[in-house]
Amino acid sequence: MSEGAVIDRIVGRGVPVRGNDIDTDRIIPARYLREITFEGLGPHAFEDDRRALNGAHPLDDPRFADAGVMVVNKNFGCGSSREHAPQALLRRGIRAIVGESFAEIFFGNCVAIGLPCLTTTPEHADALQALLEEAPDTDLTVDVEAERVVTDHGDYPAAVPASAKASFLTGRWDALGQLLENTDEVRATSARLPYLTGFGGESS
Amino acid sequence: MANTLLDTVWDLHTVRRLPNGETQLFIGLHLVHEVTSPQAFQMLAERGLRVRYPERTFATVDHIIPTDQQQRPYADGMAEQMFAAIEENVRANDLPFFDRSTGRQGIVHVIGPELGLTQPGMTIACGDSHTSTHGAFGAVAFGIGTSQVRDVLATQCMSVAKPKLRRIEVNGRLSAGVFAKDVILHIIGSLGVQGGVGYAYEYGGTVLDAMSMDERMTICNMSIEGGARVGYVNPDATTEAYIEGREYAPAADDFQRAAAWWRSLASGPGASYDDVVVMDGADIAPMVTWGINPGQVTGVDDVVPSPEALDGPDRAASEEALEHMSLEPGRAIAGIPIDVAFVGSCTNARLSDLHEAARVARGGRVADGVKALVVPGSQRIRAEAEAAGLHEIFREAGFEWREAGCSMCLAMNPDKLQGDQICASSSNRNFKGRQGSPTGRTLLMSPAMVAAAALAGEVADVRQMVAS
């Protein structure tokens, strides 16, 4: 029931968002976490950064308006565990993120919603960003299977951890279906936990 | 070779290895709050599923609850809607719910331990990155996103890769005026905000051994600020003494058996780690952040560092931080003027934190033009603090004494910075916009240092204020 689409490659234009340690508060400010659905988050992605830059943020640049691939730097998505951050990017049309490194909870949240994050070297991230800044109409092919980003101007290695890669290529990135499969094993695990069984006393 | 606590707890909770190579891990305790759960309950309902282990799932309200007035309906219509959602979800799924009427409401990472729900050897999950706090008890505790909240609600399991393990040992002694907050800020400053990505942190050494549970919680709380999703301290006699007698703690004979098991979980002396870092507590001064992430931090007796000392991207990050903070390289940290002082958050709103702040505030007066507020971590802490007379000390000094909640840590309730105000804050994040104003500025520090800054109207070295 939670089999999703196979995600093996994403083709589209890109948008460079430069900077290390971009936290999830910046990706989606906390005031939007008061919504009880994710639906309306897309337009608010990076809202405060965009307002501060007064139109100069890449997400406000018409040349990047239809970008599906975001190219970022180090430790992207650090801080709060809010899934609202990748949800906002997804709902804004982002289908893959390529960067130097990703914070762990953010990365996992992206896998769970079918948004691949690929890691590349600082040099390649910078080269890709520079390429997009110069030639925004460049088409990118993010190849999850081959772990590469392919463009007319060059080819960049971009890694995906084995577990995430397997999840995307089998369409099983939404874990719930698998977690629901084996209720007997789950019960057996809980039955051996001391704190659920009276710590081995007679009351258990 | 001896096992680490992480190995033992991980193996015990492993249901199976999933086809993608991750572990299906059983979660022994699931904590739920109003902000990251409504979509998860919605997804559950859409699939016709119910909460699988309601007896291992506990809910409270903390993130958006107002801390000044508590009349329903709340003035903020969205907050009211969010409260109505969690009330309906806990009712429909028959979950224990610690709302204000129970007297046990509070920040989720404060009340879990306070109620005795948090125990050594458990796996714990919550839709909040500061779930690492519970590791102070020798639990393996994860912050998770909303899809994983759904997974845990539906199956009591999550799909997760086992992290590597770094032991961080802090030895020696801390100087007077140096607190757990300073230790963890020092650690993050040394290892960096992404140094812990892919790792769990095991904290130890004589400084940690000597710490109270409140202090260990402060340390583990900010593991995520160093990039580590999980942080823990091995359980010991201090852990047992804290838990004994609490509402959900094992009682009588069960407690003795529990304590024996807890002790058996601690990493053995010969255990092997992927990395070991050793620090000297004597090197740590009261710490203050000067930038826009918690790794941009230095001692109160130091100066704002110059970006010129750094390379490429680090230099750019540092320049961006100083521009946001409007701070000049080379200026002294002490003496930075403040507008707001905030004592609160899951990092530092426990009773001992309030005692330390009150010790500084006693007999003093909040500086003119400074708004100072104290927000206890839970209703119970608030009551205990009042029994000790702390609220009077704070009020007499000019601090506002609030109801329990997350408050100005993330400003989802009406407690927000205005414009480019500077806030001395005992919370955990100094990100741009974190405290509710996009141009607001945050200086992270210990609760005692926040109180000192409130009285001085500027960043002040608490070691001098307590001594004088």
In a domain, A157, yes or no: yes
- Is residue A2 scored above 60 in pLDDT? no
- Cα nearest neighbour of A198 on chain B: B254
Rounded to a whole number, what is the distance in Å from the CA of B124 to chain A's nearest CA? 13
Considering only CB atoms, which chain B residues are within 8 Å of A201? 253-254, 257
Mutate to test the interface with B, among A7, A80, A203 (most CBs of B within 10 A): A80
Min Cα separation A154/chain B (Å) = 24
Do A153 and A181 sit in the same domain of this protein?
Answer: no
B72, burial (CB in 10 Å: exposed 0-12, middle 13-18, buried 19+): exposed
Q: Do B141 and A95 touch, CB atoms closer than 8 A?
A: no
CA distances from A34 to B83, B143, B383 (A): 10, 19, 29
Quick one: A113 and A77 in the same domain? yes
**Is residue B19 a part of any domain in this protein?**
yes
- Is A179 close to B147, i.e. CB distance below 8 A? no
Domain assignment present for residue A104? The answer is yes
**What's the number of CA atoms in the CB half-sphere (13 Å) around residue B418?**
5
Q: How confident is the model at residue A201 (pLDDT cuts 50, 70, 90)?
A: confident
**Do A47 and A121 fall within a single domain?**
yes
Inter-residue contact B446 to B356 (CB < 8 Å): yes
Query: Does A113 lie at the interface with B, CB-CB under 8 angstroms?
Result: yes
The range of the structural domain enclosing residue B220 comes to: 164-234+261-283
Within 10 A of B32 (CB to CB), how many other CB atoms are there?
30
**Contact in structure between B454 and B367 (CB atoms under 8 Å):** yes
Contact present, B102 and B54 (Cβ < 8 Å):
no
Residue B146 belongs to some domain of the structure: yes
Pairwise CB contact (< 8 Å): B79 & A122: no
pTM reported for the whole predicted model: 0.97
For residue B367, the 8-state DSSP code is: P
- Number of structural domains in chain B: 3
pLDDT of residue A200: 87
Q: Which residues of A touch B26 (CB under 8 A)?
A: 186, 189-190, 193
Q: Taking CB atoms and an 8 Å limit, are B193 and A21 in contact across chains?
A: yes
- Are B274 and B305 contained in the same domain? no
Q: Are residues A121 and A193 in the same domain?
A: no
Give percent above pLDDT 70 in chain A.
97
End residue of a domain, out of B129, B160, B191? B160
Residues of B in contact with A74 (CB under 8 A): 194, 313
For tokens 């709380």, the residue is: B221
Whether residue B243 is contained in a domain is answered as no
Q: Is residue A117 part of a domain?
A: yes
- Give per-residue pLDDT as tens, A76-118: 999 999 999 999 999 999 999 999 999 999 999 999 999 999 9
Same domain, A29 and A56: yes
Peptide bond between residue B250 and the one before it cis (omega within 30 degrees of 0): no
What per-residue confidence (pLDDT) applies to B467? Answer: 59
Query: Is B21 close to A52, i.e. CB distance below 8 A?
Result: no
A residues 175-194 lying closer than 8 A (beta carbon) to B: 175-176, 178-180, 182, 185-186, 189-190, 192-194
CA distances, B322 to each of A74, B144, B289, B307, B460 (Å): 19, 32, 11, 9, 20
Model confidence pLDDT, tens digit, residues A123-147: 999 999 999 999 999 999 999 999 9
The helix-helix angle for B77-93 and B38-46 (nearest 10°) equals: 50
Sign of CA dihedral B161, B162, B166, B171: positive
Q: Are residues A73 and A166 in the same domain?
A: yes
Residue B247 within a domain: no
Residues B315 and B276 placed together within one structural domain of the fold: no
A108 and A142: one domain?
A: yes
Residues B302 and B440 in one domain: yes
Same domain, B310 and B417: yes
Contact A83 B146 (CB under 8 A): yes
Say if A25 is an interface residue toward chain B (CB within 8 Å). Answer: yes
Total domains in chain A come to: 2
Provide the domain limits for residue A189: 174-204
Do A127 and A200 have their domain in common?
no
Pair (B443, B294) in one structural domain: yes
Q: Of B107, B131, B160, which closes a domain?
A: B160
Looking at the DSSP bridge assignments, the partners of residue A70 are A15, A97
Count of positions (residues) in chain A:
204
A196 touches chain B (CB under 8 A): yes
Q: Note whether B409 and B343 are same-domain residues.
A: yes
When scoring A78, A115, A124, A170 by the number of chain B Cβ atoms within 10 A, the one with the most, hence best to mutate, is: A78
Q: Is residue A75 part of a domain?
A: yes
Query: A178 and A135 share a domain?
Result: no
pLDDT along chain B (468 residues), means of 10: 93 97 98 97 96 98 92 90 96 97 98 98 98 98 98 98 98 97 98 97 98 98 98 98 98 95 95 98 98 98 93 87 97 98 98 98 98 98 98 98 97 96 98 97 98 98 80
CB under 8 Å to B200, separation ≥6 — which residues? B6, B140, B163, B164, B165, B166, B228, B229, B230, B231, B232
Answer whether residue B228 is part of any domain.
yes
Same-domain pairing of B322 and B456: yes
The tokens 């993050």 sit on which residue? B188
- The terminus-to-terminus CA distance of chain A in angstroms comes to 36
pLDDT confidence of residue A202? 59
Within a domain: A2? no
- Please check whether residue B270 lies inside any domain of the structure: yes
Structure tokens belonging to residue B294: 């918690």
Out of A20, A180, A201, name the one closest to residue B155 (CB).
A180
Same domain, B276 and B209: yes
What pLDDT score was predicted for residue A1? 38
Specify whether B182 is located in the same domain as B66: no
Q: What does each C-alpha distance from B440 to A52, B369, B410, B436 come to in angstroms?
A: 12, 16, 12, 7
Task: Tell whether B434 and B446 lie within a shared domain.
Answer: yes
Which of B26, B129, B316 faces A79 most closely, judged by CB atoms? B129
Q: Is B305 helix (H, G, I), strand (E, B) or coil?
A: coil
Say which CATH number the domain at B51 has.
3.30.499.10
**What local confidence, expressed as pLDDT, does residue B69 receive?**
81
d(Cα B356, Cα B304) in Å, to the nearest integer?
Answer: 26
Three-state DSSP state, B23: strand
* Closest-CA residue of chain B to A33: B35
Name the pLDDT band for A204 (thresholds 50, 70, 90).
Answer: very low
Q: Which residue has the tokens 């202090």?
A: B215
Calculate how close chain A gets to B399, using CA atoms only, in Å.
26
Chain A CB contacts of B155 below 8 Å: 176, 179-180, 186
Does residue A3 fall inside a structural domain? no
Residue B460, phi then psi, degrees to nearest 5: -135, 150
**A83 and B293 in contact by Cβ < 8 A?**
no
Strands (E) located in A36-192: 69-71, 96-99, 117-119, 140-143, 148-151, 154-157
In-domain check, residue B248? no
* A198 contacts B254? CB cut-off 8 A: yes
Q: Are residues A35 and A95 in the same domain?
A: yes
Chains A–B, number of C-beta pairs less than 8 Å apart? 218
Task: Report the gap between the CA of B154 and the closest CA in chain A (Å).
Answer: 8
Decide if B145 and A19 are in contact by the 8 Å CB cutoff: no
d(CA B276, CA B298): 23
Assigned domain for A95 exists: yes
A105 and A32 assigned to the same domain:
yes
ipTM over 0.90: yes
Residue B92 shares a structural domain with residue B207: no
Note whether B301 and B184 are same-domain residues.
no
Q: Which site among B132, B194, B346 would you substitute to test the A interface, given the most A Cβ atoms closer than 10 Å to its Cβ?
A: B194
Q: How many CA atoms lie within 13 A of B91 on its CB side?
A: 7
Choosing from B160, B179, B204, the residue where a domain stops is: B160
Are A168 and A186 within one domain?
A: no
